[in-house]
Structure 1
């Protein structure tokens, strides 16, 4: 997940909306996917990612339908107030700016609102921990790696030396401390991603991803690929599930993404095209990776496989570019996520307006936002596990449970308000109630499966 939320001040074309959605979904999760693919086996991986892509598409259509339904209800109530007792029937549903938390408030009970906020907060904590670990890891690998390429691709241990008596783990924590000191203060203020910064990070992302795919294809084409991934390995499925769910995350940002699209008649087609492209992109990136590199040498952050391997990339500048790519792109998103998480904490405890004491507003909320993910990043830099856990738990709630509840309550509450003749032009293709219950059952099954797997692994250890 890219982590950013698009600006919605000016309208844009459906094509720009397609690009924005692609950039929103494709982010850090894609860089952890190759290792997860290698661990689960290529047949299992392609089957699971295809199914999870389909599930994510379904719940995306649920959110869009709920957006239109919520807006129709708001418009109906507004007209009813204006015309007093005169009944107004809504002939069609339109998509308007309706934040997800407002949708949930309209469609569900207050308990559901609290559950949604908690789910979002847990997800954002996981996101911040992933970002806080990814930047220092990249800096450590660049600073401590084998830049002479004399030994080829080598996977180091945390206890290996970096600078004299300073180990790689020590270097990681030094970089994490610097990262916290430089970017942590943004949590205490307001920050917004500018349009030009978004364009720059998107451009860098596309250059880096394209380079990695092309370089891996060239190496495989020359017959120098080292990867021999298994066909199937069920032990890697739980983590792959979490990584894939995290990598398809966009539901929480759909209102700000879809609302500015000028021609919303093609929103449904836009979503289909985007998901097909993203699925193809993930499969291409991961398959070229697992057949290019030996599975035991794949890094949690895929870009690091190119920093010290001259057999794949012998141009020093480009090796540094790929190694530092996560540093530039993730660093720009970290303050945005931190401020978003801080504001969610504020809203959870005080949704009815009013102000907090200065110390609580400017000190307490920023600290409870910043400290936990930094502590987690200090304790572990296993990105694959962080992404897997974030996707498996918080990601399941945001991507499956919330959209299913949204559309369920939207459908149940709209008919008494606007009548049976009302037409929702943005209704999901999955109209039968079966799909809603299927998503909820799937989410519950996934949570139980992942939890059971974690418990079994702890018992084995």
Structure 2
């Protein structure tokens, strides 16, 4: 659940953490990026990709700093409670006991926590407790801010589920509705409409909705239970993902090297920037999962450098995948799900590889859907939770899972335009989670830390972008993005 402090679990090395972060960030968004690159032009796409990668790195360091500040606050409270217990055992004065139970920071001036800290080897700002973003929001925001955070994360998770619910049936439709021409039919499907025939009297859209119903019946029930012990399943899907990405890059490079590349992408096309922006924001999304990812790292001494290295690698990978795609395939032949472009016999001669790439999203996305659905359900519970209260069985086991599952399935029923789904989710909810929330978290945690521990106390995980200018710049950029995307959508609808 987004709002609880949990055990960190088994520790792992910084380099294992680097791999985990890489796997977390590089996901479904990468498969929709090639078409977005082709629509916006290669130069505009490259510039925007690098800039959004940099902005994501900035806010990632903000979240890490807020995590350290939250750990310091929790550690301070534990020390205070421990001292209170010692004071009670030694018959300390009533006035001292009263001061220890007050939930404020005024005692920092008369009894600084640093004097307690020096007696131990643990740094006050060491990240040892896994404090999720929801818990940090409740620590540093007021009630309105907490509710806005949960609203934003819920909308984002709904978008995630809608993307997953559309991607799997869409991939199955594309593979099963092959027309049987000389390119095995799948590549030609890029130009086909939903109303075209699939099998017999069934149209392609009918096949898509049948697959959506089957997908919902198989994976939907997991929303009503807790998903546990997915470690080995996640390892398997990660291996499959990297095999698929490596195969696609190699095949595209071979095709270009042989002179069969058909792509001639424009330098810039501003009409495609809106979707590209949303896709790129979505593709760099990791801030909401950082507490679970960073806390178990055994040594956090060079954490910022490792995160920077990860972003450089991810940028390089996105660039390689997208540039090989847009120069290998014509822009009008690129599908929303990039894997489907390799399902043609003229591109891949081995049938096993064609079907592996065509069905790759089915295997990998299906394993993530139940996990995200349970996460969304738990966030709904946290948003409406009352201190000390419990939910009736019907509300807990029926209402919350139902409101979690039904909306994304309805969205997927109405559209399978993955590029637009990813773009809108990233441009709106993604902007809130990736930019706005980290900026406000780091601003308020710095104020609280200065009040509690004094302005001279150094947070060992302080962001390199510690000047207040960066907080304002991130918020200004987030507002500009929101305004730009909204204006672009309105103008597009007006032209239609």
Instruction: Report the TM-score range of the alignment, normalised by the length of the smaller protein.
Output: over 0.9
Shift of the alpha carbon at 1:146?
A: 4.0
Q: Does 1:318 align with 2:353?
A: yes
- Distance in 2 (CA, whole Å) between partners of 1:135 and 1:382 is 12
The range that moved more, 370-379 or 194-203, is 194-203
**Is residue 7–residue 256 contact of structure 1 (8 Å, CA) maintained in 2?**
no
Hey, what does 1:275 align to over in structure 2?
A: 311
Q: Does 1:445 align with 2:480?
A: yes
Shift of the alpha carbon at 1:70?
A: 1.0
Hey, what does 2:108 align to over in structure 1?
A: none
The C-alpha deviation readout for 1:87-140, integer Å capped at 9, x for no partner, is: 422564111211111111111111111000000000000000000000000101
Hey, what does 2:74 align to over in structure 1?
A: 74
Q: 1:317 to 1:240 in 2, by over 3 A?
A: same
Hey, what does 1:88 align to over in structure 2?
A: 113
Among 383, 401, 417, the residue aligned to 2:418: 383
- 1:62-461 matches, cutoff 5 A: 62-84=62-84, 85=96, 86-89=111-114, 90=117, 92-96=124-128, 97-146=130-179, 149-150=182-183, 153-154=187-188, 155=190, 156-192=192-228, 194-307=230-343, 309-461=344-496
- Distance in 2 (CA, whole Å) between partners of 1:8 and 1:317 is 40
Q: 1:35 to 1:7 in 2, by over 3 A?
A: farther
**Is residue 171–residue 358 contact of structure 2 (8 Å, CA) maintained in 1?**
yes
- Distance in 2 (CA, whole Å) between partners of 1:428 and 1:195 is 31
**Is residue 184–residue 345 contact of structure 2 (8 Å, CA) maintained in 1?**
no
The range that moved more, 251-260 or 263-272, is 263-272
**Is residue 193–residue 336 contact of structure 1 (8 Å, CA) maintained in 2?**
no
Q: Does 1:42 align with 2:42?
A: yes
- Distance in 2 (CA, whole Å) between partners of 1:423 and 1:343 is 35
CA RMSD of aligned residues (A): 1.4
- State the secondary structure of the residue aligned to 1:265: coil
- Distance in 2 (CA, whole Å) between partners of 1:8 and 1:173 is 41
**Is residue 8–residue 257 contact of structure 1 (8 Å, CA) maintained in 2?**
no
**Is residue 75–residue 124 contact of structure 2 (8 Å, CA) maintained in 1?**
no
- State the secondary structure of the residue aligned to 1:190: coil
Hey, what does 2:13 align to over in structure 1?
A: 13
The C-alpha deviation readout for 1:370-420, integer Å capped at 9, x for no partner, is: 000000000000000000000000000000000000000011110111122
- Distance in 2 (CA, whole Å) between partners of 1:244 and 1:444 is 17
The range that moved more, 141-150 or 183-192, is 141-150
**Is residue 63–residue 406 contact of structure 1 (8 Å, CA) maintained in 2?**
yes
- Distance in 2 (CA, whole Å) between partners of 1:170 and 1:354 is 45
**Is residue 39–residue 272 contact of structure 2 (8 Å, CA) maintained in 1?**
yes
Q: Which runs of 5+ in 2 are unaligned?
A: 1-5, 85-95, 97-110, 118-122
- State the secondary structure of the residue aligned to 2:198: strand
TM-score between the two structures when normalised by the length of structure 1 = 0.96
**Is residue 112–residue 453 contact of structure 2 (8 Å, CA) maintained in 1?**
no
Shift of the alpha carbon at 1:202?
A: 0.4
Q: Which runs of 5+ in 1 are unaligned?
A: 1-5
TM-score between the two structures when normalised by the length of structure 2 = 0.90
**Is residue 11–residue 298 contact of structure 2 (8 Å, CA) maintained in 1?**
yes
- Distance in 2 (CA, whole Å) between partners of 1:193 and 1:62 is 31
Shift of the alpha carbon at 1:310?
A: 1.8
The C-alpha deviation readout for 1:31-73, integer Å capped at 9, x for no partner, is: 0000000000000000000000000000000000000011111
- State the secondary structure of the residue aligned to 1:264: coil
- Distance in 1 (CA, whole Å) between partners of 2:197 and 2:210 is 14
Q: Determine which structure has more spread, i.e. the larger CA radius of gyration.
A: 2
**Is residue 287–residue 433 contact of structure 2 (8 Å, CA) maintained in 1?**
yes
Shift of the alpha carbon at 1:164?
A: 0.9
